[in-house]
Structures are given as structure tokens and as C-alpha cells.
């Protein structure tokens, strides 16, 4: 299974930039960029909570999804 952060889609749907999300949450721009580009190795629970609060997200599935990884062996 692979965890996918959909921050790019969420921000685009709301017409927001990563910089604006930084201003709304106080999360480092580098951390937001890593989440946005799905490059984060671990997820900070507090960051997800701040993002959800700032963007008025009530359903975690709006920002995070779990997908089956294709077998590349």
C-alpha cells in the first residue's frame, strides 16, 4: 500500500498557493512543498491537523488516500 497526499489537488481546487498555505498554517514552506510533491517520508500529525483546519477539511480522505502499489518486481 502507498499513502498519497493530495495537497496539490486540494490547493488547486481552492485556488491557493503553497505560500498562501504557509501563511495560513505557519508550516515551513519546505515541508509544504514536500507534502505537495508527495516527497515526504513521514507525515507530521500536527501539520495535517493545521492544514485541515486552515482549509476547513472535515474528511481526511479529501487530503490523504491509500492506494495499492503496483508490483514492479
The secondary structure of residue 62, as a DSSP letter, is: G
Decide if pLDDT at 72 tops 70. Answer: no
Residue 48 belongs to a domain: yes
Residue 30 belongs to a domain: yes
Decide if pLDDT at 73 tops 90. Answer: no
Phi, psi values for residue 54, rounded to 5°: -60, -35
Tens digits of residue pLDDT in 3-45 = 999 999 999 999 999 999 999 999 999 999 999 999 988 899 9
Residue 73 belongs to a domain: no
Full domain range(s) for residue 54: 2-60
CA distance 33 to 52: 16
Residue 69 belongs to a domain: no
CATH of residue 45's domain is 1.10.260.40
Q: How far is CA 23 from the centre of its chain?
A: 15
Count the domains in the chain: 1
Residue 14 belongs to a domain: yes
Give the pLDDT confidence score for residue 12 in this predicted structure. 96
CB-based contacts of 25, cutoff 8 Å, min separation 6: 32, 47, 50, 51, 53, 54
* 70 confidence band (pLDDT: 50, 70, 90): low
Amino acid at each position: 500500500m502507498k499513502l498519497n497526499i493530495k495537497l496539490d489537488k486540494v490547493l488547486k481546487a481552492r485556488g491557493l498557493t503553497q505560500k498562501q498555505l504557509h501563511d495560513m498554517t505557519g508550516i515551513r514552506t519546505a515541508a509544504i512543498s514536500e507534502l505537495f510533491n508527495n516527497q515526504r517520508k513521514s507525515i507530521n500529525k500536527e501539520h495535517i491537523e493545521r492544514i485541515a483546519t486552515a482549509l476547513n477539511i472535515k474528511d481526511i480522505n479529501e487530503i490523504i488516500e491509500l492506494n495499492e502499489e503496483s508490483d514492479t518486481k
